[in-house]
Structure 1
């Protein structure tokens, strides 16, 4: 057992709570560059996330500059093509079901509240398909963040690796807050894996898990005033004695 880990005392618990509590999906970033050393530091911290039998299934691809910009062009073009021709849906299909095939309450209710609250904040009303498409495409521009991250996993791994991955991603996002950075985890990229995987140099045995935007939040952007509510502890907890 690693003695320093066992004996480490968290001297400022409030900062830990603040890092977790202040994490949210930022949808507008500044162009301010993020140093490579900072990104490497965040990934090193996140790598301490737990994984079943220490398999550490995460694979990370960092996009900046030309590689980021050219991927944005490719996926935005495909997104536009899909909107113009819905029959392309089978061409751009995610490899695993992130969402349920059939929505039921209370999940569909939360999903609708989330979507219409965001659109309402931006002044987008029901039926404005062009504006909805434009806002959705902001995902594929990394919301203007200078750093794009793509995460893959070997297809041979079991579903438990996705649980491990979730802990890795959360650790990365919380660590980013300690550096004054913000993030936006994005499953929206998954449907365009056939374009993304060869672009980033991922092997044929890798599967897209999600993407992520990383950078400094634009605090003046109206969209960043949108924060999703959370259910009270009592609504999802049962005390078994």
Structure 2
């Protein structure tokens, strides 16, 4: 994945790996910290317009339906959300940081790096789960991994073997048809 394209060869990703005996120490560390009040960045635009808003909410509704968690059961929804912060029980993970001076082009480089990693992991028989939710615990992560202040946490990535019997792993996000997002000019 380190061979992923990056404009000007900046390679803006900075990766901190958690595995082995470090994983339980990290989870204990996290458990004893108060969550921050603001995420490191806005994971979604504050005023998400259509059709993006409907797409996002449909995915959530589909996921909670598979989990048999009713819409009005906020404690159960929150309990599922907090599983992010245990990497869904994966034995290994990493955190992807980027220098705060970087802009949208370098953030797209992160996406190419992460996608490349996910495909290579799958080829090696491993499953992954990218987790932007970690932006909500960026301060704790930074402290544990001792990342410099000039780096911003973009996401975590759980690495392990998915449980094929878990209802959430049956979720298939709908995709827009080709004519919705591609225009052939000519």
TM beyond 0.5:
yes
- 2:43 maps to what in 1? 98
- 2:149 maps to what in 1? 204
Displacement of 1:76 in angstroms is 4.5
Aligned residues: 186
Displacement of 1:214 in angstroms is 0.7
Equivalent position SS for 1:223: helix
Give the direction of change, closer, same or farther, for the CA distance of 1:206–1:74 in structure 2 (3 Å limit): same
Determine whether 1:63 maps to 2:18. Answer: yes
Equivalent position SS for 1:127: coil
Bigger fraction of residues in helix: 1
Quick check: which has more Rg, 1 or 2?
1
Displacement of 1:170 in angstroms is 0.5
What is the CA RMSD across the aligned residues, in angstroms?
1.5
With normalisation by structure 1, the TM-score equals 0.73
Displacement of 1:92 in angstroms is 3.0
Instruction: Give CA deviations for 1:137-183 in whole Å, capped at 9, x if unaligned.
Output: 11011011101110111112223210111100000001111011111
Assess if the C-alpha contact under 8 Å between 1:76 and 1:140 holds in 2.
no
Residue number among 72, 79, 82 corresponding to 1:127 in the alignment: 72
Determine whether 1:75 maps to 2:20. Answer: no
Q: Quote the Cα distance in structure 2 between the aligned partners of 1:77 and 1:133.
A: 18
Residue number among 180, 193, 198 corresponding to 2:138 in the alignment: 193
Structure 1 runs not aligned, ≥5 long: 1-45, 83-90
With normalisation by structure 2, the TM-score equals 0.94
